[in-house]
Amino acid sequence: MARTLRVFDNDPSARPKVYSSDFVGRFRAGQKLNGRPVGLSAWRITTGDPEVGKAVANLYGGIPQSWETTKEDSLEVLTDADTVKVIVDGPDAVSFRMALYGMTGKPIHACDGVEFIDTEDPRVGQPCGCPQTLQERKAGAKAGHGPKPDQRIEFRLADDPELGRFRLMTGSWDFMKSIETVWRELEAVGGPALCTLKLELVEFQTKSGVDVTYRKPVLQVHGRVPQDVGAALPSLAKHVEEPPF
């Protein structure tokens, strides 16, 4: 039996929460309808914690409901918000690799675009053979034999930082184009940064005259987390108390 502190027995709400995952929830830009992936115009947040479901529904709209998944995050909230203020701890909280997933759900090709980078892959460090141009990479990914961007953003909600850590996973090529700027800006902030995470509308017409619209995830870095958010988040206090040079 796990050791417990009896001081919490009569006051269970005071007991710090322990999550089996480092993340309390995921932001998603789409959902599956009749087995087909469909893009959404507002964030869909999934979680395994009913308290988190309630909290994000209060903040961003929607109702926590169950959805079909074999994973831990069995509740979803279809929010009304396409724009959310978040706190990103630094450049390491935004990761990038190229990945092609196999039937087992594990990557069969994980690279940085040039070399294999998965340390569990015996081919690590060797040239991965991906094509050189973006156009060819996209074509390979679309055909299902080449990897596509496998990007993760870790963040807390500026509206309720104590709720815990959330994650967005995105395969967006548009996000890939923005990632060097995002890293540079987060580096410049030098600590937890206040950012806006949004699902931005993209509209254009193809050369053959077809109207295309979709949403792309965008992370805008504003600057250091302001004092009031720091007050609600003791772990950030040492950063916000430093004089702004």
Q: Specify the amino acid at residue 209.
A: G
Give the range of 47-55, 73-81, 103-111, 205-213 binding Zn ion by CB under 5 A. 103-111
* Residue whose C-alpha is closest to residue 189's, from 146, 154, 223: 223
**Cβ–Cβ < 8 Å for 224, 158:** no
| Exposure of 73 in the CB half-sphere (CA atoms within 13 A) | 18
**Nearest CB to Zn ion, comparing residues 42 and 100:** 100
Q: Is 176 in the site for Zn ion (CB under 5 A)?
A: no
Q: How far is the CB of 111 from Zn ion (least distance, A)?
A: 3
Go through the chain and tell me how many residues it has: 245
| Exposure of 93 in the CB half-sphere (CA atoms within 13 A) | 27
Q: How many residues bind Zn ion (CB under 5 A)?
A: 3
Q: Is 130 in the site for Zn ion (CB under 5 A)?
A: yes
Q: Is 141 in the site for Zn ion (CB under 5 A)?
A: no
Q: How far is the CB of 130 from Zn ion (least distance, A)?
A: 3
Q: Is 100 in the site for Zn ion (CB under 5 A)?
A: no
Sequence-distant (6+) residues with CB within 8 A of 62 are: 45, 56, 77, 78, 79, 80
Residue 130, SS3?
Answer: coil
Q: Is 110 in the site for Zn ion (CB under 5 A)?
A: no
Q: How far is the CB of 131 from Zn ion (least distance, A)?
A: 9
Q: Is 128 in the site for Zn ion (CB under 5 A)?
A: yes
Residues in contact with Zn ion by CB under 5 A are: 111, 128, 130
